[in-house]
Every structure is written in C-alpha cells, then in structure tokens.
Chain A
Amino acid sequence: MTVQGIGAAVRRKEDRRFLTGRGTYTDDINRPGQLYAVILRSPHAHARILKVDTSAAAKMPGVAAIFIGSDMAKDNLGSIPCGWLIKNKDDTPMAEPPHPPLVTDRVRHVGDQVAVVIAENRNQARDAAEAIRVDYEVLPAIVDTASAAKPGAPQVWDQAKNNVCFDWHLGDKAAVDAAFVKAHHVTKIDLVNNRLIPNALEPRAAIGEYDRATGDYTLYTTSQNPHLIRLLMGAFVLHLPEHKLRVVAPDVGGGFGSKIYHYAEEAIVTWAAGKLGRPIKWTADRSESFMSDAHGRDHVSHAELAMDANGNFLALRVATIANVGAYLSTFSTCVPTYLYATLLAGVYKTPAIYAEVKAVFTNTVVVDAYRGAGRPEATYLLERLVDKAAREMKIDRVELRRRNLIPRDAFPYQTPVALQYDSGDYQSTLDIGLKNADWSGFEARRAEAKKRGKLRGIGISTYIEACGIAPSAVVGSLGARAGLYESAAVRVHPTGSVSVMTGTHSHGQGHETTFAQLVADRLGIPIENVDVVHGDTSKIPFGMGTYGSRSLAVGGSAIVKALDKVVKKATRIAAHLLEASEADIEFKNGTFTVAGTDRSVPFGSVALTAYVPHNYPITELEPGLEELAFYDPLNFTYPGGCHICEVEIDPETGTTEVVKFTAVDDIGRVINPMIVEGQVHGGITQGIGQALLEACVYDKESGQILTGSYNDYTMPRADNLPSFTVETHNTFCTHNPLGAKGVGEVGAIGSPPAIINAVIDALSPLGVHDIEMPATPQRVWRAIQSAATARAAE
C-alpha cells in the first residue's frame, strides 16, 4: 500500500465542489434560450382517454407548445424498450406491451404521461398544464401483486392474459420433488417483500437541446449510464444516430438503480427540442418522482425447505409473484428472475432448488432494480426461512446455518441455480460477526432490557450476492439485449498527468478518488495528477455505466487493462531512452530502471518523449501515450457476509429501536476502506428502511398512491438509526485483475432479514413468530395484542 494507492483511506477529490455548492447537477444547468417543460400526468390508475382539450392552455401566457401522445405518434417514434427478454416455461416469449413516451388512448397508472406543456418559465408551464382538460373514462384498476393474476382482475393489457407478463422457472423440479418426498421435516413460509421507492435525493431532470445548424442533439440527464440512454433513446425511441446525439449525465444526486432506466421525459424533451429549436428543461417535483420513478421489490412468495433429521438442507422450492408495474422498464424483467432465483442457494449447499416466478402487470408505476435488485428479495426469503426452520427443528439458528454453509474448500462452487461462486469464506465472516456483535453475551442484555420493560432481540443473516454484472455471453444467453462489459481510456498527457475516461458513472460512489488511486498505485504519480472523466458520451468510450456493484470489478478492471497497455508502451520508450533491452527494464514507484543498474528515467520524461518524439523508436512505435481497454468479465463476483442486528421494542407502543448493527462483509480487494465503509453504512440504512420504515402503499380500490410524499413515505432519518459496526474480511475474486467483488449493494442485501429476525426474536417470548416488513410500531403493537388475545383464548 502506498500513501495514495490501493488500500489507502484517501479523502475524496470530488468533495470540495459538493461542499462549496459548486457541484453541477442537471437542474443547475441552464442553456441559452431555455424553455421549461411540465408533464401533465394521469390522476387515475386506469382510464380511457376520451378527449384532450389543450385549446385554453395553449393561449396562456408564455406557452410555446403543448404536445400530446398523438403528436409524438405522428413522428413514428418507437416504444421505450425493455432490455431483457424472459421466456415462459414453454419457451414462448414474455408479453411485451408498447411503452410510448406520451400515451394516446389509455392511462395505466397514476402519474402516466398524458401531455407536455412547454413555456418560457416553469410557473407558466405549470399553470397551463392545469388548464388542459382531459376527459377520462375511468376503468377498474388492479394494484395488488398477489391477486393481479387471478381470474376476474381488471386487465392492464389486452395482450397479457390475466396480467401475466411471464411465467418462468429455474432449477430441477424433479430432483426437488424427489427430495421433498424423503424429507424428515419441511418448513414453509409466506412472505411479502415490500414495495419501495428508491428516493435518490436529487429528483430526476432532463434538458433536451437541438442545434439546427449541425443537426446535433444533446440531452443532459440524471442518469447512471449515459451511453445506455443514448443507445435506448437514440436507436429505439427517437431513431437518432449515435453520432448526432450526445448524452451528458453530470453530477447526479444518488441513483440506487432508479436512474439506470430510460425514462419517457428524456425522450420527450429531446424530441420537443428538435421541434422547437430551443433547449427544454424538465425537473421533477418530488411528488412526480413518487409517481414516475421506477419502484423496487414488490414480491409475494411461498417457499418450502426440506431437511433431513439433522437439519441438513435437502431441497428448496419457491414460488414468487413479482409486480412489474404497468409497463416494462429497462431491466425490470431480469430482476425477479436472473438476479433473484439464481441467488436462492445463498451461502448454503442445498443440493436441489426449484423456483417459479410469475411476473404480473398492475396499474402501478414500473418496478425495476433498486439497490440490490432481486438479491435482497432472495436473501430475505432464505434467511427468514432458515430462522423458521431452526425454530421448528429446535436447532440453534447459528448452528443450523453452520451445518449447511458451503465449506471453505468447496470453491469454485457450482450451485443448482446456474451460478458458480469463485471464492468466499462464510465460516469466518460468521465467526467474526458473532464476536463483534457479542452474540454470546446477548441473553444478559435481553435480561437487562426486560428490567427496563423493553423487549430485546437479536437477529442474524448470512448472505451472498452476485454482482459485478456481468459476463456478456452469459447474460446474452439468458435474454439480455445488451453486453455488460466496461470501457476505460487512459490518456497520459505530455507532462505526465493523466486523464482516465471511464464508462462507469459516479453518483456518490467516489470514483474520482478510487479510480485515481488505481492510477497512482500503478504509475507512481500523485492522485492530484489524475483526473477521472465520466458521464459525457462525447468524452468517454462506449460504456455500460454504474449499477449492480460493477464499477470497480468491471470498470476498474478495464482501467487496469488500459494501464497495462500504457506501462507496456512506456517501457518500450524507456528502453529506447536508456539504450537497454525492454526485458531489462523495471518500473517501480514511477521510475523506469535498467535492472541492476542506477540508470533510470522517470515516468514524466517517458510521457514527454511520447509526445515530443525526437529521440524515439519511430519505426517500431507510434508516438503518444493513450490506451483504450474494454473488459468483459468471465463470471459474476460474489460478495457475502454476516449481518447481525440487535433491537429493543417498547411493548407499549410497538416502537422498534435498532440499538446495534454489526456487519462483516467479504467484498474482495478494497481500494479505499473509508469509501467502502460509507457504502456499507448507506446500504444498511436502506435495509433498515425496508425492514422498519418504508413501504409504498397503493389504495386497492382507486389505485392512488397513498405514500406520495415525504410526509407519508417514511425515509430513514438520523434519529431512527444507530452508528454501525462494520468490518470487512475479504477473499479475492479469482477472475478479475483486481480481485475486487463490489460493495455498493451488500448493506441493503444482508440487512433486512437480520433486522426482522431480531424483531421476531424479541417478540417470540410473547408468541409472535411472524411479522411483515416494514415492522412499523402499529404492526408490532397489533402482533403483540393478537398474540396476547390468542394466549388468553387457550
């Protein structure tokens, strides 16, 4: 480890602009002659549009244009595409209904886009939007996941019978059925994985711009992946060629998945800018975010675990209904399938697994990946099931886990659900977790809390995830319509400073620092001399962006590959300058040396020589020092670990306080431990949010979103949380050059079951053995009361 290299807790380079108010988020950008767009959204969950009357609105002050769905349809624009084709059990393709940026005939969720009003300023656009008259014929709506596919439910799409998008499965059904026949005991569980709203703190925004002189379009947008937006919007929706479309994702205020997808507003402002020849800005109100950002989770599952008499897992059977919302968002279909069912082995050597997933359309906003995406759902199901199995088998829950963990010497380990884990050490992360949480001392704390009238509980989760997405060939065979490699260009400037152009995007992850550390480590230059450029398709090579904890494992590996090429070429230049054989040149701490001599040349001199090639092997080597690399991983990466949560519940109010949270994660090579800890803290907090506070609630009759503001949707706040105890215990990924696995999602994946298991542990003395997320005070209080009533009746 050097002072600024791999492993150093370097303070972030990007902080200064954020701390002084000089960040540039999309809404901070103002273009000359800019107009403002306001989207008129459906107030109904499901309705036929009979008539849209814009005549009064069009005459309002400042209005430049109003467009409705038929205006866009006239231009033969395409549909917003779904990026992943899932096939049904019978190998037929999923139902894939159209998704126009502005609807024409029917609205399918509250917040659906009906019209866009463009005016000189935002207030004028807003006033005019209110003056548009839309006649709706309101239709019955379905918002409930569990009942969407039942006969008689309102139909969201004519082409999706019984609202089924796909009915998919994975695993060996016959082997699972046979194992269940032989089982000593079967534990069954029914679970809801609550629907969440990602709520990145920066609302989505987009500015479309068109240059009539050149025919060039520019879109500034709040995106985690500008090239993906350019591809999806350019090739599929607006039919603009890539060389005439630039997409810029400047500073982005958090994403958590919700800013991966191509959204209607991006296409609307870009298309309308072409029509009007002026830049057009749209910025969401938070209320709009609640009804137009992709939501997350929303599963209803039944699972069964077969065990022998010693508690060895024999087989797992899972049936899940997943809500995809009213349309198919970019990655919506892979989340409840290949990012979910493939994780159902968890950290356990369960030999046979069979999972069925039915995805359903409902009259709700789209559901797509939210931090963890499929893997939190799998982890929650498994870890709740294992705890319940332990109770039923009367085996200690830690002991039951130990008996079934994949052993250290079993890697690479092939699961029965398609994945091959390359490395891990689940015994050690469990042992360290138990020690750090003082698991063995818990009963004394429970007793002490009882004296204070509090119910104290402790819960555990041992988890794995698959991230670093992904090998293109593998995902392609599974239905992905894109490759998932990453790109990097390393440009060494004549005086030896470096720019790194990466296809990943940083919206809180600190790439400007960690990626600079990779360069500093390799080239021996200070991170101050390294600039990391991202987020602008006109500046960076084609790359896939940031999600699935892939930036370091995939994007970082691309940087390493580009650095390899830079060092290789620089070594040849140095050999020439030192009049030595290339094989004799050593490069260390920024200096090229002829091995065994004191003859050396610093990196900066080599860089200068590359650009001022007076004394240069010009017949063998091109001038310049800039290299491009693409990295396509051979496998996913597999972070894992152990999360332990301790709670205290006030039985009088049902309020749950997280008093201690301990995480021990295996995330592979750590570049910056300070940033790693921050990522884990944030993930755990979103897990606590899911387990105790957050839920998106739709009214089952009207389809209205009842949690459409921060007054109603409970975001985790500082006074809901403790400080955390986090540690990493790392085994290295075996197939990427850094050994990196990824850390962005582990906190949100491992934590929810640990929290709920703790709540159940606290309540079990009262006879409560199940509670749904979020375990709000009301739910906990009711569970306590109904258990008391049941006891009284006995």
Chain B
Amino acid sequence: MPTVTMTVNGRRVTGEVEPRTLLVQFIRETLGLTGTHVGCDTSQCGTCVVHVDGNSVKSCTMLAAQAEGTTVTTIEGLANGDLHPMQAAFNEHHGLQCGFCTPGMVMSAIDLVNRNKSPSEHDIREWLEGNICRCTGYHNIVKAIKAGAQAMAGGKR
C-alpha cells in the first residue's frame, strides 16, 4: 500500500493507505482524530471541514494521497489547552447543540474570518451554505461567528 506523509496539528505523520482512502478516513481511522466527523457521502454537510495549508477543505472530497506533504489542522489542533476565540464564541452564544456539525462549523468559520475580517450576517449565511446544522437553526451560529470575528480581530489570534 502507498504511504502518505503530512503534518497534522503540528505533528509529522506517516501512514499506509489504500489508494481510495479519503483524507477524512485517514484523519479519523489512521490518526484517531475523531473530532472531524462524517455526516454524509455527497460532500454536502460540512462536518468534515479541516484546514489544508490554511484553507478550509471538506476532508471527504480529498484523497489522503492528495494531502501528501500538506499541513493539516483539525479541530483538535486549533488551540492548545485553551479555546480559540471562535470556539469560545460558539460557547458564549450557544452556537451548538448536539455538537456533531460543530467542528466543521468552527473550522469553516475561521477560514471565513481569515478571508473577511468583519463579515456581515449576509456574508456569514452565504459562507455557511456548505455546512448543515440540524439543531440550531443557524441563528446562534451566525451570532457566534460575528462575535468570533470580532474577538479574532482583537488580536487574540
């Protein structure tokens, strides 16, 4: 079986994978990082969003082999011990209920704010088109991302 090597959450990792292995399978099953979720099989739900070289990517749309040599950040690697300002904002504004979409939402939101420091409600709602939440009705997620963007602009990260 082919071998892939990448840097995940600051750690250099190598693993043998079948060619058809998706990046999300490599992350969950080979690396045991189960914070990245799988909610569909058509790249619609966004629960598997991670950052690959700084950009948000649905890790079910990418083969592990395609991630060779990249730098990947998963929800587990966002903050060391403390919460990233976006994670803290989701807690403060009740932007999560069952928690299943949450890692993908947070990873996606951070990429939005990296591109658009001060997104409007409209910007946020448009950006989240690829992340499905069945619990919150998005109301509090939108509030959380607005607040998270402000906290990130405040220089926390």
Residues of A within 8 A of B (CB): 11-12, 14-25, 27-28, 30, 123, 199-203, 251-254, 256, 285-287, 507-510, 674-675, 677-678, 681-686, 709-711, 715-719, 721, 723-724, 747
Complex Cα gap A13–B16 (Å): 38
Task: Sort A-B residue pairs by CB-CB distance and give the 8 closest, nearest first.
Answer: A21-B35, A18-B99, A253-B100, A685-B137, A508-B98, A508-B97, A710-B44, A681-B137
For residue B128, which residues in chain A have a CB less than 8 angstroms away from its CB?
717-719
Complex Cα gap A682–B133 (Å): 9
Closest to B139 in A: A681
Pair B38/A20 contact, Cβ less than 8 Å: no
Q: Could you give 16 example pairs across A and B, Cβ below 8 Å?
A: A18-B99, A19-B75, A25-B37, A28-B34, A200-B100, A202-B39, A254-B100, A254-B135, A285-B41, A508-B97, A682-B97, A715-B134, A718-B128, A718-B133, A719-B129, A724-B139
For residue A18, which residues in chain B have a CB less than 8 angstroms away from its CB?
96, 98-99, 102-103
From A287, A508, A677, A724, contact of B135 by CB (8 A): A508
Complex Cα gap A287–B40 (Å): 8
CB < 8 Å A-B pair total: 176
For residue B98, which residues in chain A have a CB less than 8 angstroms away from its CB?
18, 200-202, 251-254, 507-508
Closest chain A CB from B112 CB (angstroms)? 11
Pair B83/A21 contact, Cβ less than 8 Å: no
Closest to B18 in A: A123
Known contacts A201-B134, A715-B132: A510-B97 contact under CB 8 Å: yes
Pair A678/B97 contact, Cβ less than 8 Å: yes
Residues of B within 8 A of A (CB): 18, 20, 28, 32-42, 44-45, 47, 74-76, 78-79, 83, 87, 90-92, 94, 96-103, 106, 121, 124-126, 128-129, 131-142
Pair A682/B135 contact, Cβ less than 8 Å: yes
For residue B121, which residues in chain A have a CB less than 8 angstroms away from its CB?
723
Closest chain B CB from A651 CB (angstroms)? 23
From A20, A285, A508, contact of B75 by CB (8 A): A20
Pair B134/A199 contact, Cβ less than 8 Å: yes
Pair B102/A19 contact, Cβ less than 8 Å: yes
Q: Is the interface of B mostly helix, strand, loop or mixed?
A: loop
Closest chain A CB from B79 CB (angstroms)? 8
Given A678-B97, A711-B44, 12 new contacts (CB under 8 A) = A15-B90, A18-B99, A20-B87, A21-B74, A21-B103, A200-B134, A201-B45, A201-B101, A201-B133, A201-B135, A253-B100, A507-B98
Closest chain A CB from B63 CB (angstroms)? 13
Closest chain B CB from A745 CB (angstroms)? 13
Complex Cα gap A723–B97 (Å): 17
From A19, A28, A251, A718, contact of B91 by CB (8 A): A19
For residue B38, which residues in chain A have a CB less than 8 angstroms away from its CB?
27, 203
Pair A710/B134 contact, Cβ less than 8 Å: no
Closest to B89 in A: A19
Pair A21/B76 contact, Cβ less than 8 Å: yes
For residue B87, which residues in chain A have a CB less than 8 angstroms away from its CB?
19-20
Complex Cα gap A18–B78 (Å): 13
Complex Cα gap A27–B39 (Å): 11
Which of B96, B129, B137 has the most CB atoms of chain A within a 10 A radius of its CB?
B137
Closest to B141 in A: A718
